[in-house]
Amino acid sequence: MKNRIILRQLFIALMVSLMTVISLVNTVQAAILFEGWSKVLVSGEHVGYIVQRYEFDEKKKEFKETHFLKTGANAGGLQESLVARADASFKPIAYQYTGLVNNAPMTVDASFKGDKMTAVVTEGKTKKTVSNTMPKGTFLSAFLGYVMLQGKEGLKKGVKYEYQGILEESATISKGEAFIAEEETVSGIPAFRILNNINGSKFISLVSHKAEVLGTTSPAIGTQTILVSTMEEAVAGFGVNSANLATLFGSMPTGRENEIVRRGLQPPKPTAKPASGIPTPTITAPTAPVVNAVTPAVPATSPAVVPPTAPAVSKPAIVAPTAPVVTPPAQPQGKGP
């Protein structure tokens, strides 16, 4: 379960961040803010892929995050999909999560009313209803980047964000923190290195100044995600069901809305000591960082990564990585990010 959480957080970090909110076109009902394909590696071996999209529906004043994760049998044979919705102030509206681990299915169908969350969780033939009262400011982890953006200090080295996030795959609420440790350059792209910790799981994300996650890594389990410029590189031999993806996303994701594609750059392949790209430093946050309390209606995060070896896991933890900052779209009337 812990590995599954780390995975998903990585993805979150990966994604959460991927939310580049640039120029929302009012003539388009649902503008794509970010869309990209990432490959998943365990101990340097390519074991699967993740595709993710963030959108803003101008008419409904809603944000939407959709992602799909798949890994080979050597990494647990995982499949995960998520469709999450939040209003313009990032208050949760609903989400549907589906997971498959070693052919064992799991679904979570959650809805929200006021400060109450109700989720129907189905594992195999077992179904249960989970009800939680959300602390003020709780958000879906898939939107973590916005939480950081709304912080008093914004994106800046030395700032730490603390928050309450919903882990979609388990329908639970957990405390988390994201510490902006360093500024560096990844494949020519200025980025922040962010140290993430949620539900006891730690991982690192590299995020551009536009809040796009270029990659994530979990030193504890040797798992990485790397944003790439083409679907073919991310998918390799793991297979894609285009019809299912088009149904899940509403259209087949091309993965062209991200910094890697815009720059025409390819992140370097991970090595034992990469000169640039996705490092795996130890997670040690400097002392006395500036702490920003998360205000209500502030959220953000991204998809999951895979557990290392595929030991007979009853249900590896697919966690959403934390998502660094994003520049929100032109704010709708009334409340907004």
132-136, 143-147, 177-181, 251-255, range with the lowest pLDDT = 143-147
Q: What is the pLDDT of residues 65-115, one digit of tens each?
A: 999 999 999 898 999 999 999 998 889 999 999 998 767 899 999 999 999
Contacts of 87 (CB under 8 A, 6+ apart): 61, 62, 63, 93, 297
pTM for this model (two decimals): 0.72
* Average pLDDT taken over every residue of the chain: 76
Residue holding tokens 């100044």? 209
Residue 305 in this model has a pLDDT that exceeds 70: no
What is d(CA 122, CA 110) in angstroms, rounded to the nearest whole number?
Answer: 11
| In contact, 194 and 16? CB cutoff 8 Å | no
Q: Provide the CB-side half-sphere exposure for 27 (13 A, CA).
A: 0
Residue 280 in this model has a pLDDT that exceeds 70: no
What is d(CA 94, CA 324) in angstroms, rounded to the nearest whole number?
Answer: 22
What is d(CA 4, CA 301) in angstroms, rounded to the nearest whole number?
Answer: 15
pLDDT band at 40 (very low <50, low <70, confident <90, very high): very high
Q: 334 has which bridge partners?
A: none
| In contact, 57 and 73? CB cutoff 8 Å | no
H-type helices in the chain, by residue range? 2-16, 145-149, 231-235, 242-249, 259-263
Nearest to 225 by CA among 320, 309, 161: 320
Instruction: Please count the helices (runs of H) and the strands (runs of E) in the chain.
Output: 5, 16
Q: 185 has which bridge partners?
A: 190
Q: What is the pLDDT of residues 215-230, one digit of tens each?
A: 999 998 899 999 999 9
3-class state of residue 211 by DSSP:
coil
- Burial of residue 145, with CB atoms counted within 10 A of its CB: 0-12 exposed, 13-18 middle, 19 or more buried: buried
3-class state of residue 141 by DSSP:
helix
Position 253 scores a pLDDT of 97
Farthest-apart Cα atoms in the chain, separation: 51
- Strand 139-140 relative to strand 159-167: parallel, antiparallel, unpaired? parallel
Position 8 scores a pLDDT of 56
Neighbouring C-beta atoms of residue 73, cutoff 10 Å: 10
Q: What is the pLDDT of residues 106-151, one digit of tens each?
A: 999 999 999 999 999 999 889 999 999 999 989 999 988 766 766 6
What is d(CA 15, CA 36) in angstroms, rounded to the nearest whole number?
Answer: 9
Position 78 scores a pLDDT of 92
- Strand 213-218 relative to strand 201-208: parallel, antiparallel, unpaired? antiparallel
Residue 251 amino acid letter:
S
pLDDT band at 332 (very low <50, low <70, confident <90, very high): very low
What is d(CA 160, CA 272) in angstroms, rounded to the nearest whole number?
Answer: 29
| In contact, 299 and 86? CB cutoff 8 Å | yes
User: Could you tell me the two tokens for 78?
Assistant: 């995982």
Residue holding tokens 């200025």? 190
